[in-house]
Homo-oligomer: A and B are copies of this chain.
Amino acid sequence: MPNLLTDEPESADIATDSVQGVSRGITAPHGTTKARIERAALTLFVERGVDGVAVREIAAKVGITDAAIYRHFKSKAELAESLMLAIHERLTDLVREVGAKNAPFRDKVTDLVTDYCAAADDDWDLFTYHLLHLHHFPHLFAGESSSHVRRVGPISVCANMLKQAVEEGEIEPGNTQLLASMVLGIVLQAASAKAHLRVRGPLSIYAPEFDKAVWAVLRHR
CA–CA, A189 and B193, complex, Å: 13
Contacts of A4 in B (CB 8 A): 175
Query: How many copies of this kind of chain does the complex include?
Result: 2
Binds B, one of A16-24, A81-89, A206-214: A206-214
Contacts of A181 in B (CB 8 A): 189-190, 192-193, 198-199
Contacts of A177 in B (CB 8 A): 7, 193, 198-199
Those of A181-221 within 8 Å (CB) of chain B: 181-190, 192-193, 195-199, 206, 209-210, 212-213, 215-217, 219-221
Query: For the complex, would chain A's binding face be called helix, strand, loop or mixed by DSSP majority?
Result: helix
Q: How large is the interface on A (under 10, 10 to 19, 20 to 34, 35 or more residues)?
A: 35 or more
Binary B-proximity of A130-171 (CB < 8 A = 1, otherwise 0): 001001100001111110000000011000000000000000
Those of A80-133 within 8 Å (CB) of chain B: 132
Contacts of A186 in B (CB 8 A): 182-183, 185-186, 189, 217
Contacts of A188 in B (CB 8 A): 185, 189
Whether B155 and A178, one on each chain, are in contact in the complex, defined by CB atoms closer than 8 angstroms, is no
Contacts of A175 in B (CB 8 A): 4-7, 199, 209
Does any Cβ of B come within 8 Å of A49's Cβ?
yes
Least Cβ distance of A21 to chain B in Å?
25
CA–CA, A184 and B189, complex, Å: 7
Least Cβ distance of A135 to chain B in Å?
5
Contacts of A199 in B (CB 8 A): 175, 177-178, 181
Given contacts A141-B196, A178-B199, A212 and B216 within 8 Å (CB-CB): no
Whether B143 and A198, one on each chain, are in contact in the complex, defined by CB atoms closer than 8 angstroms, is yes
CA–CA, A74 and B22, complex, Å: 39
Considering the complex of A and B, which 4 residue pairs feature the smallest CB-CB distances, nearest first?
Answer: A185-B189, A143-B197, A5-B174, A51-B51
